[in-house]
Structure 1
Amino acid sequence: MLGRNKDLTAEQQLQDPQQQGTVANADVEDELDSGKPLFQRLVPVFACGAGLFSDGYINSVIGSVSTVLKRQYGSVYSDSTAVKNVSSIAFAGTVLGQLSFGLLADHWSRTNALIISTVILLVFSALATGSYYQGDPVGMFQMLTAWRFFVGIGIGGEYPAGSVGAAESTSELKKGSRNLWFIMFTNTMIDWGFVIGAFVPFVVAAACSNTHYETIWRTSLGIGVIFPLGLLLLRTRIKEPEASSHHSMRYAKTPYLLVVKFYGFRLIVVSMIWFLYDFSSYAFGIYSSTIVDAIVPAGSALTVVFGWNTVINLFYIPGSMLGAPLSDKIGPRWALIIGVTAQAVVGFIMAGLYGTLSDPSNIAAFTVIYGIFLALGEVGPGNNIGLLASKTCATGVRGRYYGIAAAVGKVGAFVGTYIFPYIEKAGGDDAVASAQYPFYVAGALCFVSAFLAFFFIPEVGQDTIEKEDARFRAYLEQHGYDTSRMGLKQVDTMESQSTLADMPVVASQKV
């Protein structure tokens, strides 16, 4: 890893207070045993991370909304640029939100950045629901596209502010379950958002007897406002995570050159894995249409189409929920490696047997194997890439580090969605080969992700956040940086600023 020798020097500096760090850890464990009940400790983790439910819901529901718009407006919609822009414009907004809110989370406040992102999500989700332009359908499509961009910014803010805050809040939980709860309130929430985002249009379409198209798509979008509204009320009551309170760089100038030297290579590796995961996972989403097309006759009722869409999205849930404890038992690094390797193997099997599996008479087998493939993706990078991004760097720069990695992942999703149709075309007129090539490419990329994680990602333990903060502080001090200004301070004037009391130093090890 970059800066390896310097890291060792920093660790040597931390060996003297090792006993003090051990006592500090024991005190923390005693406090957890006699302090708040589990429910109260989970509230901040939930409040910070659960906003990603909206990411899943909004990205899922827009597919159903686009289906309804095609039926309502026909070629006016399907032949317009809106058919692509309505679904994809949120990617651009999300990337902008991830980068900008990563900076806000580090230099202002985790909780305040969360509140702002939630308000943006609420306001523009409501505006998207009411999209209108003087009765002109094309103008309405353009308004919907514009509001979706700003919705994406709100979604993007949930990543560096919400996930980072959730990771830091897990430090108040007992060791042995911290990774599980982080995953349950981040990636699993995204997956449930996808499921509910597919199920709500099904229910609304059934209530509307598969007619009243405008009611169906506007109601489906509008229901997406309810969850962030409730979450906003909860977020106004949570406090800044303890780690951020002590290690924030709100009042300290960020030494970017030192940060790049210390974390640059690690950030590149984490970002590459996230890019490859989103590149493959979003592109593989095109194969859900294979299942639907084989089962659902053309012109079927909306409830039939939306019902099968819900079933397909349900495959994500067991992978995320059953795989979450694995990240505590063997660590997120090994969980990612095992999950992504198994996914690659299943992907190659599907490619080799695609000609047989895609036959309509074997659609049940295709669906099951495809479901296993999706579930393994959640066991691996789905559950663990965000966890690794939030715990492989220090608190002072965690928001920006996470935001950059997540933004690169979203770029990967966009690139994968754009490139995979060309990979399919490489198969020429052979329909089987056209379907096999993307599986071979994505399977190979899964192995690349496993290689990167095995050789370049550090182990992440239950108390990695504390150790990483101590390791980073020691590195900065070694290079002459004044760390006394780090942390959130209550001051009236610059002259009256009091230095934050020294935190107990936690004995560090190579992580």
Structure 2
Amino acid sequence: MRLPWSRKEVDLEPTTGDNAAQEVTVVERKLGLGKVGTIFASGASLFSDGYANSAIGPAKLILKTYLYPEAFKGNNKSQLLSSMAFAGIIFGQLTFGYISDKIGRKFGMLACTMIVFVFSALQAGAKGAGGTPEALIDALIAYRFLVGVGIGGEYPTGSVAAAEGTEDPQISKKSQQKLFVLATNTMLDFAFTISYFVCLVCIWIFGEDHLRAVWRITLGVGIVPPLFLLWFRLRMKEPEAYARNSMQHTRIPYWLIIKRYWVKLLAVSITWFIYDWITYPFGIYASTITNEVIPNATLKQNVGWGCLINFFYVPGTLFGALIVDYLGPKYCMIFGLVMQAIFGFILSGTFTKLVPNHIAGFAILYGLFLSWGEVGPGNNLGLLASKAIGPTAARGQLYGIAAAIGKVGGFIGTYTFQNIINDFAEKKGTISVTGPFWIGSGLAIVSALITFFFIPNIRVDAMKDEDVEFREYLERNGFDTSK
């Protein structure tokens, strides 16, 4: 057919469906359904992860401080509200890791998209039996867990499919790692900022006299990303690497896989644990930290500073995406970790000069501390988990294990971070506020050392080469690879 803006006939045959045409059409270029678009449709669901985990920060601030303070007294609901999604994410990562390998990447992605959509809507409308504030918080905690299941499933399905898509012959070999980063972690980091900005806009619109609408809409906007992605994902097909090398129709030799990959799997898992322990608590508690720095801050000030601080994730991930194909994921990660540690130590040492007279300087240094974390492990852990620790046949499960261990770090961090702040607050001197930064900087150095000694760098087309070597390894060990 001929479209109004085209002078020639246009073939509307999709390149990503079951009967895909070879060339990308005008419509697909407009809608992002070519090879690059498929990578983004696979990985961009991490926007939902970042939004759901970050949006609970300002939402909890409103619930705990302004609406229902009595409901949080004498219990652990505050910690559970922040960390329960991580429990669901861990369950989803492990469960959908198996589904991704044995049933398919596409099925897993579609299932996760629907789970996130349904339970994001339910948490925005949470009420609870009896309609009491305590029941509302309990219902919200339960929905947070279920949203987490869908979010967690995206890691071994969507992120893995995005990684496999980067080695398509039509993708430039100089952009393989960059495209994965932009499609996954960059989406995640944008969501951190957007979640706080949405809350801030809601406060501007409704005012502080209608905070029930503010927190519900802030969480409810989380339904938009999965709904948007659903249409694109329905038109996708399984990655070619999965179609060639999956073990859907035969048993997976787990013992042989463990013997070959356990060191790299353990190293990536530990570094991911450290990264999530640092990133999620520091991001979620941005408003808490700024409240310590700015006593008696208004809600707008708290949320606004949280938005500003979370924005610093964005330049970090974008800068890291530009250099990752030149340095390689391993050395890009080490570079980011070392710089993060340096800025953390600087922040601790200069605290008395910055607070309370130079709050902007404090916010910038704090933001750079988070930003360098994205240049390093934020951008590269997904790459390493996808391309360095296992073959296509078990990639979903190995990725899911590493990511789940990382989220255990996020769960522990968000659950204990307030207690750490409180413990430091009882001490004398600047350590009462800067203590968490000393801990975070020290852990960044530990993570850099683990990466240097135990994780390999990633070559171009690393997954294709590993699949060939894995097949040969199985055959040497007497495993029938005919299926």
Shift of 1:47: 1.0
> 5+ unaligned residues in a row in structure 2: which ranges?
1-21
Instruction: Tell me what 1:479 maps to.
Output: 477
Q: Point out the more displaced range, 264-273 or 78-87.
A: 78-87
Instruction: Tell me what 2:4 maps to.
Output: none
Q: Is the 8 A contact 1:106 1:250 kept in 2?
A: yes
Superposed, which structure 2 residues align to 1:150-189 within 5 Å? 150-172=146-168, 173-189=171-187
Shift of 1:433: 1.8
Distance 1:62 1:421 in 2: 15
1:127 aligned onto 2:127: no
Shift of 1:318: 0.2
Amino acid at match of 2:293: A
Distance 2:433 2:164 in 1: 42
Q: Is the 8 A contact 1:177 1:325 kept in 2?
A: no
1:61 to 55, 58, 62: 55
Identity %: 44
Which structure: larger Rg? 1
Shift of 1:442: 2.1
Q: Give the aligned length.
A: 449
Instruction: Tell me what 1:340 maps to.
Output: 337
Q: Point out the more displaced range, 443-452 or 233-242.
A: 443-452
**Structure 1, residues 194-250: CA drift from partner, whole Å, max 9, x if none?**
111111111111111222222111111211111111111111110000100011111
**Structure 1, residues 78-111: CA drift from partner, whole Å, max 9, x if none?**
5554322222111100000000000100011001
Superposed, which structure 2 residues align to 1:271-420 within 5 Å? 271-285=269-283, 286=285, 289-295=288-294, 298=296, 300=298, 302-357=299-354, 359-392=355-388, 393-420=390-417
1:76 aligned onto 2:71: yes
Instruction: Tell me what 1:104 maps to.
Output: 99
Superposed, which structure 2 residues align to 1:172-321 within 5 Å? 172=168, 173-285=171-283, 286=285, 289-295=288-294, 298=296, 300=298, 302-321=299-318
**Structure 1, residues 162-211: CA drift from partner, whole Å, max 9, x if none?**
11010001112111011111111100101111111111111111111222
Q: Is the 8 A contact 2:89 2:148 kept in 1?
A: yes
1:116 to 111, 117, 124: 111
Shift of 1:418: 4.3
Pair 1:35–1:330, CA change in 2 (3 A): farther
Amino acid at match of 1:91: F
Shift of 1:282: 2.9
**Structure 1, residues 284-333: CA drift from partner, whole Å, max 9, x if none?**
444653334434x5262x33332221111101000001110211111100
TM-score (ref. length: structure 1): 0.84
TM-score (ref. length: structure 2): 0.89
Q: Is the 8 A contact 2:277 2:409 kept in 1?
A: yes
Q: SS of the residue aligned with 2:301?
A: helix
Q: Is the 8 A contact 1:276 1:409 kept in 2?
A: yes
Distance 1:290 1:423 in 2: 12
Amino acid at match of 1:303: K
Compute the RMSD of aligned alpha carbons: 1.9
Shift of 1:77: 4.0
Q: Point out the more displaced range, 78-87 or 360-369.
A: 78-87
Q: Is the 8 A contact 1:64 1:306 kept in 2?
A: yes
Pair 1:112–1:321, CA change in 2 (3 A): same
Q: Point out the more displaced range, 277-286 or 361-370.
A: 277-286
Q: SS of the residue aligned with 1:459?
A: coil
Q: Point out the more displaced range, 407-416 or 163-172.
A: 407-416
Amino acid at match of 2:313: Y
Instruction: Tell me what 1:492 maps to.
Output: none
Shift of 1:423: 5.1
Distance 1:341 1:74 in 2: 40
Q: Which runs of 4+ in 1 moved over 6 A?
A: none
Distance 2:287 2:23 in 1: 47
Amino acid at match of 1:402: Y
Q: Point out the more displaced range, 413-422 or 455-464.
A: 413-422
Q: Is the 8 A contact 1:102 1:402 kept in 2?
A: yes
Amino acid at match of 1:352: G
> 5+ unaligned residues in a row in structure 1: which ranges?
1-33, 486-511
Q: Is the 8 A contact 1:275 1:409 kept in 2?
A: yes
Distance 2:228 2:75 in 1: 36
Distance 1:431 1:149 in 2: 39
**Structure 1, residues 104-145: CA drift from partner, whole Å, max 9, x if none?**
000110010010011111111111112123322222221111
Pair 1:280–1:74, CA change in 2 (3 A): closer
Q: Which has the higher contact order (CA 8 A, sep 6+)?
A: 1
Distance 1:450 1:81 in 2: 34
Amino acid at match of 2:264: R
Q: Is the 8 A contact 1:45 1:170 kept in 2?
A: yes
Distance 1:260 1:449 in 2: 22
Amino acid at match of 1:438: P
